[in-house]
Structure 1
Amino acid sequence: MKHTMPPTRRRAALALLAAASLAALTACGTSGGSSGGETAATELGEMEGAVSILAWPGYVEDGSNDPAVDWVTPFEEQTGCQVTSKTYGTSDEAFSLMKTGDYDVVAASGDASLRLVAAGTVAPVNTDLIPNYAGVYDFLKMQSWNSVDGVSYGVPHGYGANLLMYNTDVVTPAPTSWDVVFDKGSEFQGKVTAYDSPIYIADAAMYLMTHQPDLGIENPYALDEEQLAASVALLKEQRANIGEYWSDYLKTIQSFESGDTVVGTTWQVIANSLAEGTPAAVTVPSEGVTGWSDTWMIASAAKSPNCAYAWLDYIASPEANGQATEYFGEAPSNQAACEFRSEGSCEAYHAGDADYASKIWYWSTPIAECLDGRTDVQCTDYAAWTTAWQEIKG
């Protein structure tokens, strides 16, 4: 899926895929709500001594992949909570694994987070019990992908944009619009690439917001049936020009380096990882970009909710957040994290740049209740998007 390791971690990535200030949580009352009757913790108690974490590769490093990369051991030493972790490759996989009840904590992208909330799989989070939450950028807090009805469901981790990358020798002049992969995509037939996921439908919807304003799309994740149909039609037209849909980060690097791909969706970490001399550049087109902001969430049936709260506080701390997000290749969520990243790293990912972040439509799970606030129509949900994506790819 979208998340993989920087090139210096490639070997570790492949192997991976084959807080002191907190005490813990006591039981609290319940009331009706999106999480199946759960309410957030009201106070902290004793640690359970263990915590089970489900996350993207590279988010929970304990030194076993690279002895120099370890932010788990300090957490264990500070809290007494021994960490066990499992990685997953797609948001759909994460959603299925969380339903088993085997994990206390999950790092969820926006195309999974609301599904987890709706299913009652994750619980509201009392951010007053997480001191390091105060250091998280305000523009990442209480957003549509990490809160419901004014209730927080987790702590932001890292974020990034789905940028337009192009071969500077082939795609000239430098593009300023996503039209090079949509309306003008036939000029690069067979060498256009796009992200392989139902959530990519939002990229088409975002494009139509500018180019077909009569459709009335206000949020690319809030599409009624007519708006979804228009987005699907655009993607079916694009299908003829696609050389490959990608989810494997390393293959995308190779494809741009070889020239097999000359234009399409990418991430900043991919652009930063291209071999020296590769004629490629990235841009934020005039229509804007989609992107991700991942959230640490606590299972509603967590066996170790106390250690889970401890992890959420620890991983949001400047040092741990800085280490984890740099290793992965994304902007941190803690505004002080850049002090613990290498020189130029935060600048490369536009960390803390609120204007840059405002151009990003962060992944949010499509649900029937329209995320744009409309109440006179029902929006299409993720299941409908999944069906549509299968039709697009054929």
Structure 2
Amino acid sequence: MIRATKRVARSAAAAAAVSAALLVLAACSGGGSTGGSAGSVPNVPMAKKLGTNEGQLNLIVWAGYAEDGSNDPKVNWVTPFAQNTGCKVNAKVAGTSDEMVQLMRTGDYDGVSASGDATLRLVYGGQVAPVNTKLVPNYTTISSFLKNKAWNSVDGQMYGIPHGWGANVLMYNKSTVTPAPDSWSAVFDDASKYAGKVTAYDSPIYIADAALYLKAHDPSLGIKDPYSLTEKQLDAAVSLLKKQKTSIGEYWSDYTKSVQSFESGSSVVGTSWQVIANLIQSDGKVQVGTTVPKEGSTGWSDTWMIAAKAKHPNCMYQWMNWITSPKVNAEVAEWFGEAPAQTKACEQTQDPTFCDTYHALDAGYASKIHYWTTPQTKCVDGSGNDCTAYSEWVTKWQQIKG
């Protein structure tokens, strides 16, 4: 996913020295020795119990997920973690999911805050280990609709701890786009009404948005899951996106540019995030509305994953429990602009209406979201082995944009 600055924060803590890991490991059932888009899951060992903290933790994060007070003195959950555990955090901010995958392959990091378009690549590539959720006490009160899902588990085994989530909403300028749209047709079949002022998310995973629309509007294609597309279904989605491109004014990946685009009037309708709408509304320059259309929506659910060969696994387990504790998860969610995964976080938010705004505890709302999941040749919905892999989506996306 291309998500260069979805938040206001930039980076986290500085470097520290490396020391030895003392986590006791044992093999878990996970499949064969090779990974891949259609292969079995590599047999990577899973932690059985915790040992002594190693004094350091090397993370790959989205900007805003590991704040140490350097961006805002009032926003700091890294320093208290280090004080409580003795694990000094060394965080590397990544701008895209592709970058995260490449960094994890170096073996230099203990964990990553991966999104769904990266998670299965890491699992099948053997870069991450299955997670023993019994070693993460705060996991018990994570929202149930985020557990054991296609993007964070394989065969009932969790490969991470859910962190935060949100929908890719349809946003529109209230004075220009009337009546208020209730369908993604506003950016697909009816996009020509707003030619040159339609905006879309800049990533191969956006193909799933077109597939979701076709699922509802062209049943003959037989699309059941927007991330499990046959060649024919993928071609149909690509064709729709090429048609849409004639009306696109801007593809965006930087949320600040999306804000500027709507406030300047160069964009009036398109895919967005709730945090973008909130920023625009707070500026007061333009009145925008958001909706999850009748076809549903794509969205993201970020997952903390531990490296298969983590040098500081005990500190990583401590971090996964810390970052999903009620108070900290609330702080991250408000700073970042997303729904917290921790159900008890809603009792800790500074804004008492925050969780209502982001539908944090609304399972019905969450059920409308088709969370980003890495496309595999082995269909992620379990329908067969004739689906298209993410690498093919990347090629198609390049063709769409030209």
Task: Tell me, yes or no, whether TM beats 0.5.
Answer: yes
In the alignment, the residues of structure 1 paired with residue 113 and residue 12 of structure 2 have an alpha-carbon distance, to the nearest angstrom, of 20
Does the alignment pair 1:391 with 2:389?
no
Q: Is the 8 A contact 1:24 1:309 kept in 2?
A: no
Does the alignment pair 1:290 with 2:298?
yes
Does the alignment pair 1:303 with 2:311?
yes
In the alignment, the residues of structure 1 paired with residue 226 and residue 386 of structure 2 have an alpha-carbon distance, to the nearest angstrom, of 14
The partner residue of 1:163 within 166, 169, 187 is 169
Q: 1:132 to 1:300 in 2, by over 3 A?
A: same
- 1:175-198: CA deviation from partner (whole Å, max 9, x where unpaired): 111001100111111000000000
SS in 1 for 2:134: helix
- 1:194-239: CA deviation from partner (whole Å, max 9, x where unpaired): 0000000000000000000111100000001000000000000001
SS in 2 for 1:159: strand
SS in 1 for 2:48: coil
Question: Aligned runs of 1:145-224 on 2, under 5 Å?
Answer: 145-224=151-230
Q: Is the 8 A contact 2:204 2:393 kept in 1?
A: yes
Does the alignment pair 1:354 with 2:329?
no
For 1:366, give the aligned amino acid. Answer: P
SS in 2 for 1:96: helix
The partner residue of 1:345 within 347, 350, 354 is 354
How far the C-alpha of 1:150 sits from its partner, in A, is 1.1
Give the match for residue 25 of structure 1: 23
How high is the TM-score relative to the length of structure 1?
A: 0.94
For 2:353, give the aligned amino acid. Answer: G
Question: Aligned runs of 1:359-370 on 2, under 5 Å?
Answer: 359-370=368-379
Question: Aligned runs of 1:259-274 on 2, under 5 Å?
Answer: 259-274=265-280
- 1:98-132: CA deviation from partner (whole Å, max 9, x where unpaired): 11111101000000000000110000000011100
In the alignment, the residues of structure 2 paired with residue 82 and residue 166 of structure 1 have an alpha-carbon distance, to the nearest angstrom, of 44
Q: 1:352 to 1:2 in 2, by over 3 A?
A: farther
- 1:36-61: CA deviation from partner (whole Å, max 9, x where unpaired): 22132111111111110110000000
Q: Is the 8 A contact 2:228 2:381 kept in 1?
A: yes
The unaligned stretches of length 5 or more in structure 1 are: 17-22
Q: Is the 8 A contact 2:11 2:91 kept in 1?
A: no
Q: 1:32 to 1:272 in 2, by over 3 A?
A: closer
Give the match for residue 19 of structure 1: none
How far the C-alpha of 1:15 sits from its partner, in A, is 10
- 1:330-363: CA deviation from partner (whole Å, max 9, x where unpaired): 0000000012212211111111100000000000
Give the match for residue 67 of structure 1: 73
In the alignment, the residues of structure 1 paired with residue 285 and residue 261 of structure 2 have an alpha-carbon distance, to the nearest angstrom, of 14
Give the match for residue 328 of structure 2: 320
Does the alignment pair 1:115 with 2:121?
yes
Q: 1:15 to 1:5 in 2, by over 3 A?
A: farther
Give the match for residue 259 of structure 2: 253
SS in 1 for 2:57: strand
The unaligned stretches of length 5 or more in structure 2 are: 14-20, 32-39
SS in 2 for 1:371: coil
Q: Is the 8 A contact 1:24 1:307 kept in 2?
A: no
In the alignment, the residues of structure 2 paired with residue 101 and residue 385 of structure 1 have an alpha-carbon distance, to the nearest angstrom, of 26
Deviates more, 1:283-292 or 1:39-48: 39-48
In the alignment, the residues of structure 2 paired with residue 14 and residue 183 of structure 1 have an alpha-carbon distance, to the nearest angstrom, of 40
Aligned length: 383
Give the match for residue 20 of structure 1: none
Q: 1:369 to 1:5 in 2, by over 3 A?
A: closer
Percent identity between the two aligned chains: 58
For 1:172, give the aligned amino acid. Answer: T
Q: Is the 8 A contact 1:163 1:266 kept in 2?
A: yes
SS in 2 for 1:368: coil
How big is the alpha-carbon RMSD for the aligned residues of Structure 1 and Structure 2? 1.6
Q: 1:214 to 1:5 in 2, by over 3 A?
A: closer
Q: 1:204 to 1:5 in 2, by over 3 A?
A: closer
